[in-house]
Amino acid sequence: MSISVSLAAAQHIQRCLKDREQAIGLRIKIKPSGCSGFSYVLDFADTQAEEDLIFEQHGVTVLVDPESYPYIEGTEVDYVQEGVNSFFRFKNPKVKDECGCGESFSV
């Protein structure tokens, strides 16, 4: 399995990376947090660690550390706009429960 990126997410990532000279992609990390157990942490990656897992789709690179990967394997990263709000949405098949605000999840 892998991590996939929707076209909308890829276009948003490309727009964001255009303003960063050194960025090579989007880094997704999982950390213990929130009322449900885990949360997604997104950052722009300027470097690649030797152990990073690399996924490429629609011209963008997503980097995931090996500790986070088991929690998000098979996830699709999407970018949605609802009214005046826009955000990344994770379609993670491993999620068993989410908190009411959608900020954390359990597997």
Q: How confident is the model at residue 28 (pLDDT cuts 50, 70, 90)?
A: very high
Nearest to 64 by CA among 16, 102, 30, 13: 30
Domains contained in the chain, number: 1
Q: What is the CATH number of the domain that holds 99?
A: 2.60.300.12
Please give the residue range of the domain that contains residue 79: 4-106
The CA–CA distances, whole Å, from 17 to 43, 84, 94 equal 11, 22, 29
Residue 37 pLDDT: 85
Residue 101 pLDDT: 61
- Number of helices followed by number of strands (H, E) in the chain: 2, 9
Residue 54 pLDDT: 97
Average pLDDT over residues 25-46: 89
Q: To the nearest whole percent, how much of the chain has pLDDT over 70?
A: 92
Residue 107 pLDDT: 81
Nearest to 25 by CA among 34, 16, 33: 16
Q: What is the pLDDT of residues 38-58, one digit of tens each?
A: 899 999 999 999 999 999 999
Give every CB contact of residue 85 below 8 A, 6+ residues apart in sequence.
none
